[in-house]
Amino acid sequence: MPTGNLGIAPLDQSARPRDTHSDLTTALDLPSPYLLFLGDVDQKPFAKTAFGIRDWAPERCVGEYACEGNALSLDLPFMSPREARAKGARALVIGVASMGGRIKQSWHSQLFEAVEAGLDIVNGLHHRLASVPGLADAAAAKGSRLIDIRTPPKDLPTATGRKRSGKRLLTVGTDCALGKKYTALALTRAFTEKGLDADFRATGQTGIIIGGGGMPMDAVVSDFLAGAAEVLSPDAHDDHWDVIEGQGSLLHPTFAGVSLGLLHGSQPDVLVLCHQAGREKILGLEEDFLLPDLASVIDLNLVHARRTNAAARCAGISLNTAHLSDGEADAAIERVSQETGLPCADPIRGGARFDALVEACLTS
């Protein structure tokens, strides 16, 4: 996937109040610019937070940092926390999205180094920074903040299923870490460039950091998942679009629960299915869970989407072709379009195919 600014204009994340639950999705005031920390993760999908921030908020990135010997790179300047602080960085962001969301013991020395340098730490993992022995005291002594992103608001309601005004698009996927966030961001930008009133609604750690607010869906107690999605995308005027970042996959043996709660609660009018070209099985599990054909995945998502919105439809396919050459990508996109009978595009490559996907989303 291309790196750098990608020509992305800043998104309007004003999070303007629209109903009585709007205070539950208060925007975050995160200290930036950032030093992005890769830990000892050596696979790009498990460093998706760092890559996402680099690609969608490059103006907030000073450099990268990692454990000794880690060859994975963001192609940003490598610098220590002290060097980053001297360059103007205000926070170290843990750029890892590991299975289970654990803060590994092998990272502890780097986290202490960050607070000793006077940096705040922004953490999107499930484990809290205060769980690292001594880190809270070290941070307090230096006046550094420990900021845990995956903290859902209190007093979330259970879902009602009530039909809400406004329009909603939800990105869904065949698996994790294949483009749901990038697709939602790209579609939000395309909608706003057309003069439409559209908001990106973040549901995961990376999107929340990029957008400055949202709902950490996978940290919400299961009974309140669909209710949290309703809160995230409340009533709006008829021409307003909420473009909602999907999470996980209905096919995922580990994370299907959050996907279903989000699908029901977001009440989408439009789905865009996200897939990585060539991926044949669920990523990161010891057992081989093979992926079915895309038409079957679309049908599965529509069955559940239509529980709360009988008019829900799939507008097309977002295909991640970052690992392919231009010719290979063109062939893969054309093949998927032919197989599904739907528009297919790689939003990062853009072009006429992406324009067609955008039009399909907006045409009922």
Q: What's the order of all strands across the beta sheet hosting 167-173? A: 198-201, 241-244, 167-173, 270-276, 313-320, 344-345
Residue 356 in tokens:
């067609």
Please report the pLDDT score of residue 101 as a whole number: 85
Other CB atoms closer than 10 Å to residue 67's CB: what's the count? 16
* 289 located within any domain: yes
Of 186, 202, 346, 227, the closest CA to residue 276 belongs to 346
User: Is there a single domain that holds both residue 215 and residue 313?
Assistant: yes
Beta bridge partners, 172, equal: 273
* 291 located within any domain: yes
CATH number of the domain bearing residue 309:
3.40.50.300
User: Is there a single domain that holds both residue 198 and residue 133?
Assistant: no
Q: What is the CA radius of gyration of the chain?
A: 20
User: Is there a single domain that holds both residue 95 and residue 242?
Assistant: no
Residue 260 φ/ψ, nearest 5 degrees: -70, -45
The band of 26, judged by pLDDT with boundaries at 50, 70 and 90, is low
Residue 130 in tokens:
């205060």
User: Is there a single domain that holds both residue 243 and residue 126?
Assistant: no
Q: For 319-334, write each residue's pLDDT tens digit.
A: 999 999 999 999 999 9
Q: For 131-189, write each residue's pLDDT tens digit.
A: 999 999 999 999 999 999 999 999 999 999 999 999 999 999 999 999 999 999 999 99
Q: Among 100, 121, 148, give the residue marking a domain's end.
A: 148
* 21 located within any domain: no
Could you give the CA distance from residue 151 to residue 103 in angstroms, rounded to a whole number? 16
Q: For 344-355, write each residue's pLDDT tens digit.
A: 999 999 999 999
Q: Among 95, 114, 148, give the residue marking a domain's end.
A: 148
Quick one: average pLDDT of 202-224?
94
Which of 14-28, 234-248, 251-265 bottoms out in mean pLDDT, i.e. has the lowest?
14-28
Of 90, 251, 297, 274, the closest CA to residue 177 belongs to 274
Q: Among 114, 148, 182, give the residue marking a domain's end.
A: 148
Quick one: average pLDDT of 213-232?
96
Q: What three-state secondary structure class fits 97?
A: coil
Q: How far is CA 179 from CA 93, 158, 222, 313, 345, in A?
A: 21, 29, 24, 19, 12
Residue 48 in tokens:
């998706």
Could you give the CA distance from residue 178 to residue 277 in angstroms, rounded to a whole number? 9
Q: How far is CA 169 from CA 180, 201, 233, 270, 310, in A?
A: 12, 10, 10, 5, 14
User: Is there a single domain that holds both residue 144 and residue 173?
Assistant: no
Cα atoms in the Cβ-side hemisphere of radius 13 Å centred on 60: 22
* 284 located within any domain: yes
User: Is there a single domain that holds both residue 59 and residue 137?
Assistant: yes
Q: For 57-107, write each residue's pLDDT tens digit.
A: 999 999 999 999 999 999 999 999 999 999 999 999 999 987 778 899 999
Could you give the CA distance from residue 185 to residue 172 in angstroms, rounded to a whole number? 13
The band of 317, judged by pLDDT with boundaries at 50, 70 and 90, is very high
Considering the entire predicted model, what is its pTM?
A: 0.90
Could you give the CA distance from residue 129 to residue 126 in angstroms, rounded to a whole number? 9
User: Is there a single domain that holds both residue 178 and residue 325?
Assistant: yes
CATH number of the domain bearing residue 71:
3.40.50.720
User: Is there a single domain that holds both residue 128 and residue 237?
Assistant: no
User: Is there a single domain that holds both residue 332 and residue 195?
Assistant: yes
Residue 181 φ/ψ, nearest 5 degrees: -70, -50
* 179 located within any domain: yes
* 132 located within any domain: yes
Please report the pLDDT score of residue 98 as a whole number: 75
The rounded Cα 225 to chain-centroid distance in angstroms is 17
Q: For 2-20, write each residue's pLDDT tens digit.
A: 333 333 334 444 334 344 3
The band of 25, judged by pLDDT with boundaries at 50, 70 and 90, is low
Other CB atoms closer than 10 Å to residue 3's CB: what's the count? 12
Per-residue b or e along 195-206, where b marks 16 or more CB atoms closer than 10 Å to that residue's CB? eeebbbbbbbbb
Please report the pLDDT score of residue 9 as a whole number: 38
* 3 located within any domain: no
Q: Count up the domains in the chain and report the number.
A: 2
Domain span at residue 86? 29-148
Please report the pLDDT score of residue 73 as a whole number: 96
Quick one: average pLDDT of 22-27?
53
Q: For 251-300, write each residue's pLDDT tens digit.
A: 999 999 999 999 999 999 999 999 999 999 999 899 999 999 999 999 99
User: Is there a single domain that holds both residue 125 and residue 182?
Assistant: no
Please report the pLDDT score of residue 218 as a whole number: 93
| Average pLDDT score, the chain | 92
Please report the pLDDT score of residue 97 as a whole number: 86
Residue 344 in tokens:
């297919």
Residue 174 in tokens:
């065949």
Is there a contact between 204 and 295 (Cβ–Cβ < 8 Å)? no
Please report the pLDDT score of residue 288 as a whole number: 95
Beta bridge partners, 281, equal: 290
User: Is there a single domain that holds both residue 138 and residue 250?
Assistant: no
Q: What's the order of all strands across the beta sheet hosting 34-37? A: 61-65, 34-37, 91-94, 120-123, 146-148
User: Is there a single domain that holds both residue 261 and residue 351?
Assistant: yes
Is there a contact between 200 and 192 (Cβ–Cβ < 8 Å)? no
The rounded Cα 342 to chain-centroid distance in angstroms is 24
* 248 located within any domain: yes
Lookup result for tokens 């930036």:
32
| % of the chain exceeding 70 in pLDDT | 92
Could you give the CA distance from residue 209 to residue 28 in angstroms, rounded to a whole number? 8
